[in-house]
A = this chain, B = another copy of it.
Amino acid sequence: MPLDPLSSTFAALADPTRRAILARLALGETSVMELAKPFDMSLPAISKHLKVLEHAGLISRGREAQWRPCRIAPDSFKQVDGWLGNFRRFWDESFNRLDGLLEEMKAEEAAKAPPRSNRKVSNPKVRVTKEKQRGRTRG
């Protein structure tokens, strides 16, 4: 049951209804009724979807009389974006160029100040045979 946060966030995003709800919420906070309107689906179904989104940290809910207005919650989006960042170099050209620059800058910086690395690297579980294999032939 206790799925890690990133997993529940991705799972929540893996449903078109839920993504449509989020798209609507990107326009602004609104009620459950309002959110349900576009869908040919029972209200309880929507309620469940909202629960999933909330549990995934993608929305938060307030209380206003009998309404429970929903709004986007940024944190989980940020998490997803962060994770995705590990792969950005595979498709984002400008990122690659920037990355190259940063590498250079880091190298220079390292040359100036010798590193004092006492970092706690605990789990070398993914023991990779080759540290970094470069030279993909991909456009």
CB within 8 Å of B: which residues of A?
Answer: 4, 6-8, 10-11, 13-16, 19-20, 22-24, 26-31, 33-34, 37-38, 64, 67, 69, 71-72, 74-75, 77-78, 80-81, 83-88, 90-92, 94-95, 98, 102, 110-113, 115-116, 121, 123-134, 136, 138-139
B15 x A14 contact (CB < 8 A): no
Q: List chain B residues, Cβ under 8 A from A13.
A: 10, 14
Nearest 7 CB-CB pairings of A with B: A28-B133, A10-B14, A31-B115, A74-B91, A11-B14, A67-B115, A10-B13
Q: How far is it, in angstroms, between the C-alpha of A89 and the C-alpha of B72 when the chains are bound?
A: 11
Number of copies: 2
Q: How far is it, in angstroms, between the C-alpha of A134 and the C-alpha of B91 when the chains are bound?
A: 14
A126 x B38 contact (CB < 8 A): yes
B88 x A81 contact (CB < 8 A): yes
* Cross-interface CB contact of A29 among B7, B23, B29, B113, cutoff 8 Å: B113
